[in-house]
Chains A and B, each alone.
Chain A
Amino acid sequence: MVTSQAPTAGRPRGELVLGIETSCDETAAAVVADGREIHSSIVSSQVDLHARFGGVVPEIASRAHLELINVVVAEALVEAGCDFADLHAVAACHGPGLAGALLVGVSAAKAVAVCRSIPYVGVNHLEAHLQAAWLDEPDLTPPLAVLIASGGHTMIVIVESRGRYRVVGQTVDDAAGEAFDKVARFLGLGYPGGPAIDAVATSGDPRAVRFPRPMAGEGFDFSFSGLKTAVVQYVRKHPEVPVADIAASFQEAVVDVLSTKLLAAAEAAGARTLVLGGGVAANRNLRARVDALAASSGRRAYLPGPALCTDNAAMIAATGWFRLHSDGPTPLSGGATPGLRLPVVG
C-alpha cells in the first residue's frame, strides 16, 4: 500500500531535494523545496508484512525496501511534478537504523547523485525528527523542548537553534514504542502495538491499575523495562481484569512519565515550546496531555500531524537541504552507520 501526503499545487520552484528514508520499516521518498515546502511525501507502509512477526524483521525489511525503493522514488517525483533533472540535491537517512535497510536508501541516493552530478547528503534520522517541526511551522522559535519517542528511540532534546542540540534525557533500557509493542503482544493486541493499545484503551479505565512511574522525579532519563515487567506480573496475578483496563492503565503510566519529564526539561532549559516527534507522538492520549501541560504552564505545544511524526522522507529532504547549506555535501565514500548518534553541542 502506497500512501501519500497532499502535495503543494503547481510546478515546483526553489532548490528541490529528493529525500529517501529506509532506516526501519518504511520505504519513503519525498521532494521538498528549500527545506520547507513539501511537494510530495510518499510512504510505503510495510506494516502488513511485519504484522505476522510482531516486529520488524531486518532481512524482510531490507528485501522489501529493495523491491519498493524505485517505485516510491518514481511516485515522489511524479507527484511533485518534476524529474531527476530538476533536483538540486539528494539526501538519504544514513543512520541510526538497521544496517541492511539503511544501505538500500543510501545506495539509491548515491546512484541518483552520481547519474545527475548533484550533491549527496547523508542525514541523521534523529536530527530529521527534530527538524520535521519546521516543515509545518517555519516560524518556530527556539529553544524548543522536543520529545522523540518511537520503537527504537526515547529522548528529550533541547533544540537551542536549528542545528544545535542538547540531549538532556533518554531511555536507560527499552524505548517507549518498544514497551507499547511488547505489552501489546503480551496482551494479544497485535502489531504495531502503539495504535493497538491506543484503540483498546479508549474503552478502559486508566485508573484501574496504578502501574509504577519508573524514574519519576529522577532527572530526565526514562526506564520502561520495569514497567513492562510490572504489567506482565499484574496480569498473571489478576487474569480477571479486562484487557482494556490494563491497556489504559499502562498507557496512562507511559504518557504520565513522558509528558511530565518533557515539561520539566522545558522548565529547566527555559524552553517556551514543547514539540513531539516519533511514532509514539501519534498517541492521542500523549498529544492531549502535552497540550494540556503546555496550556497550564503558559507554554506552546507544537504537535506535528502523524504523517510528520512517524518515519517519513520529507523530514530527510528538509534536513538534507539544511545540512547541505551548513556543512556541504557528504562524500560518496560515506556509508551507513546503524548506531549513529545525534550530533550535540557542549
Chain B
Amino acid sequence: MNLRAKSLAGTEAVGRVVADVLVPGDVVLLTGDLGAGKTAFAKSVAAGLGVTEPVVSPTFTIVREYDGRIPLVHVDVYRLDHPNDAQDLALDELLDEGRIVLVEWGERISASLPADRIEVSLGAGPSDDARDLTVEVRGAAWVPRRAALEAALRAAGPDVGELP
C-alpha cells in the first residue's frame, strides 16, 4: 500500500496506526535513506505503544529496549554490513514472543528475520516535510490481519493520503 504523508504529523499518524495493530511477537522492518524519517517514524510507533521515556537513536548501541503497553525492542543495523553480523547480534534472543521488534535498515538482514513481518519504507515526498511511504505485509500470519491494517491506514487522518 502506497501512502503520502503531507507533513511530519502525517508520518507520525502512520506510525501510530501501525502501532495500534501490532501485537506481541510482531516484527517491523523500517527502510529508507539517511534523513528519510526513520527516527521520527520509530518515535511515533513507540508513542503509540505507550512508551513514555525518550526514544533515542540506537545506532551506537545497536539495540535499545523500552517498556510500553507492549515492550519494544528498537534495533538499528546501520553499522552492520554482513548478514552474519545478525547472528552475532543474538537476534534470536531479541525476537521474543512477548515483544515487538522494530528494525531500522532492516533490509540488510532481511534473510535472518522471520517471514511474518510488516515492512515500512520511507522516501522523500514532494516537499521537505512530506514523505512517500510504502507499507507492506509479508507472511501467512499477516493475511487475515491485512484488511484491518489497510482500513486503519486509510483512516489515518487528513495528513495522510493513499497513492495509486
- A residues near B (Cβ < 8 Å) are 24, 53-59, 96-98, 100, 151-152, 170-175, 178, 182, 185-186, 225, 228-229, 231-233, 236, 338-339
Contact = CB atoms under 8 A, between A and B. Distances in A.
Given A186-B34, A232-B34, A339-B65, A56 B60 contact: yes
A318 to B, nearest CB: 24
A96 B128 CA distance: 35
B74 to A, nearest CB: 12
Interface centre among B33, B35, B43, B128 (most CB of A within 10 A): B35
Given A58-B88, A225-B40, A98 B57 contact: no
B59 interface: yes
A175 B62 CA distance: 13
Interface in B50-73: 54-57, 59-65
A55 B79 contact: yes
Contacts, number: 75
B35 A232 contact: yes
B142 interface: no
Contacts of A236: 124
Given A55-B79, A56-B79, A57-B85, A228 B60 contact: no
The size bracket of the interface on B is 20 to 34
B85 A171 contact: no
B79 A54 contact: yes
Contact of A228 (B34, B62, B85): B34
13 contacts: A53-B79, A55-B59, A55-B78, A58-B88, A59-B88, A59-B89, A173-B43, A173-B57, A174-B39, A175-B57, A178-B59, A225-B39, A339-B61
A182 to B, nearest CB: 6
A169 to B, nearest CB: 12
Contacts of B78: 55
A236 B37 CA distance: 16
B80 interface: yes
A178 B88 contact: no
Interface string B26-37: 000000011101
Contacts of A225: 39-40, 57
A194 B81 CA distance: 21
A171 B43 CA distance: 14
A178 B84 CA distance: 24
A174 B64 CA distance: 13
Ranked 8 nearest A-B pairs via Cβ: A152-B60, A232-B35, A59-B88, A55-B79, A229-B35, A174-B57, A225-B39, A172-B54
B34 A182 contact: yes
A175 B60 contact: yes
Contact of B59 (A100, A174, A339): A174
Contacts of A175: 56-57, 60
Contact of B61 (A59, A96, A233): A96
Contact of B62 (A58, A171, A172): A58
